[in-house]
Amino acid sequence: MQPTKWRETIDPYTINFKHFKLINILGYPHAGNDVFYVEGEYEGERLNAFIKVERQIGADIENEIETLMDLDFPFTPTIIEYSLVAPKYIITREAKGVRLSTIVGDNKNFESMDYLYHYGETLGLFHQSNISAKPVKHRRFFEIPDNEYFSKHGLEDVGEFLNSNKPQNCSKCFVHGDFHYANILWKDKKISCVLDYELSGIGIREFDMAWAIVLRPSQRFLKTAKEHNKFLSGYSSKQSYNEKTFRYFYVLIASHFYSMGDDDYKQQLKAIIQDFIAFETF
């Protein structure tokens, strides 16, 4: 079930598609760009698809198109058509599967543990990709917040940790850039598709790993060390990584997310952050 229209968007019926025929809009998924879940026709076949139209300058649909065309990875969506002329867009066939947040629900019995090894394993496999790509675009999550931010939220020790333990000479590889549960579809306890490649490029593997499992507001899983370790076991079955660097970037990313949630979320995330810092300073 996709959301109803929640903001003003481009009218997709005004786009001059090359071969795709838009029949009906079925939903408006939440995204930075204008994304439409639609019914359409392509090469005589009636199908469901997603149309993504570049909405903002910071978006990089062109990078997503180039990545999907060059990447040899078993879980990419199938491109139906695209345009690099404004309005830039990409149409992909609907991939079968559901998000992990839907599958595990409130995760009372740690149903997530049945999925996290494969989750980490898949990211490790992705990081093996041999592809020519540009460096990832700079994002605010790469930067340490200023001292005022840490003081405001009572995280002075977090700021001190981040400023005193910056990793040096991080190894780099091809990274997804936005590998997390909302961009992963599952079917029969296996990943069926990995979505959204706008942020892909050459970057730091441990940052990509931390981004994949950092606790986000309203998230009901990946709250515990045993879940983190299950993911890491899966990842390390395919790829090596630096434990200290991974934990550093988890704390960095989490410090940004901290201000985005309610009091319960902040309490949960702060406990995880403190555990990660304690590991680093042990």
Nearest to 248 by CA among 276, 217, 222, 275: 276
pLDDT digits (tens, 9 = 90+) for 252-265: 999 999 999 999 99
| Phi, psi (degrees; rounded to nearest 5) at 246 | -60, -50
Query: What integer is the mean pLDDT of 40-58?
Result: 91
- Quick one: pLDDT band at residue 32, thresholds 50, 70, 90? confident
pLDDT digits (tens, 9 = 90+) for 126-149: 999 999 999 999 999 999 999 999
Q: Model-level pTM?
A: 0.94
pLDDT of residue 58: 64
Which one has a higher pLDDT value, 3 or 275?
275
User: Quick check: 85 and 198 in contact, CB under 8 A?
Assistant: no
Judge residue 64's burial from the number of C-beta atoms within 10 Å of its C-beta, 0-12 exposed, 13-18 middle, 19 or more buried. buried
pLDDT digits (tens, 9 = 90+) for 56-111: 766 789 999 999 999 999 999 999 999 999 999 999 999 999 999 999 999 999 99
What domains are there in the chain, each with its CATH number?
12-93 (3.30.200.20), 100-281 (3.90.1200.10)
Alpha helices of the chain — where are they, by DSSP H? 61-70, 100-104, 116-126, 147-152, 156-164, 205-213, 225-236, 243-257, 263-281
Q: Distance (Å, rounded) from C-alpha 138 to C-alpha 126?
A: 21
pLDDT of residue 60: 86
Query: What integer is the mean pLDDT of 199-211?
Result: 98
Mean pLDDT over all residues of the chain? 95
Is 70 exceeded by the pLDDT of residue 31? Answer: yes
Query: What integer is the mean pLDDT of 148-173?
Result: 96
pLDDT of residue 282: 37
